[in-house]
Amino acid sequence: MKNHIMPAIRLTAFCALFFSGIYTMGIWGIAQLAPNQGNGFITEVNGKRYHTNVAQGFTKNEYFWPRPSAVDYNAAGSGGSNKGPANPEYLATVQTRIDTFLLKNPGVAKTDIPAELVTASGSGLDPDISLAAAQVQVKRVAKARGISEQKVNDAIAANLQQPLLGCLGTEKINVLQLNLALDRPHPNPSPKERG
């Protein structure tokens, strides 16, 4: 046993020094080379600052809705629900989200709702939705805003982000940026105002 004490102490000291100092400073240094020095992407509107890389909770009909969040869009405590796909409580939550979506989006069939609009992401903070998830909400948003569906589709097209290098990932739309783009010509309440 005495033969193992000194190697264990040395390993503990090395790990403490490396992971609390050298590794941490290395990651911080790399972040300084990233856009916005690793502080995220910030959009300022009417003197308020919003992180575009963190989901915002929109529930009003005139806004596109993001993915649901198991943490109520709280970036201080990101995470999923940790319930399995067969958990009765989880299935009831998903069914409630489906029913709400169908109620607020008449004419949409249950089979047309992308799974991402009724299931939370692993972090609960996913700021993006797919093109299909945006398109299924067009009629509701256009009607609530009193504008043509074509104007809403134009805003979607203008905010559609292509995959990185044309092949890594999928097309996506940042929900906050899309809602802010729609607010510009037609002022509405603050994007943080939740209904």
Structural contact between residues 178 and 155, judged by C-beta atoms closer than 8 angstroms: yes
Query: What integer pLDDT is reported at residue 33 of this predicted model?
Result: 83
Sign of the CA dihedral running 166, 29, 54, 93: positive
Q: Is the pTM of this model over 0.75?
A: no
Query: What integer pLDDT is reported at residue 185 of this predicted model?
Result: 63
Backbone angles phi, psi at 35, to 5 degrees: -55, 140
Query: What integer pLDDT is reported at residue 193 of this predicted model?
Result: 45
Would you give the DSSP letter of residue 174? E
Query: What integer pLDDT is reported at residue 97 of this predicted model?
Result: 94
Query: What integer pLDDT is reported at residue 194 of this predicted model?
Result: 45
Residue reference for tokens 């596109």: 64
Backbone angles phi, psi at 82, to 5 degrees: 60, 20
Query: What integer pLDDT is reported at residue 129 of this predicted model?
Result: 92
Extract the tokens encoding 8.
């264990």
Query: What integer pLDDT is reported at residue 186 of this predicted model?
Result: 52
C-alpha–C-alpha distance, residues 136 and 131, integer Å: 9
- DSSP characters over 16-39: HHIIIIIHHHHHHHHHHHSGGGGS
Q: Which residues of the chain have pLDDT under 70?
A: 38-39, 185-195
C-alpha–C-alpha distance, residues 168 and 191, integer Å: 30
Backbone angles phi, psi at 44, to 5 degrees: -110, 125
Q: Which residues contact 99 (CB under 8 A, 6 or more apart)?
A: none
Query: What integer pLDDT is reported at residue 55 of this predicted model?
Result: 83
Secondary structure tally for the chain: helices H, strands E:
7, 5
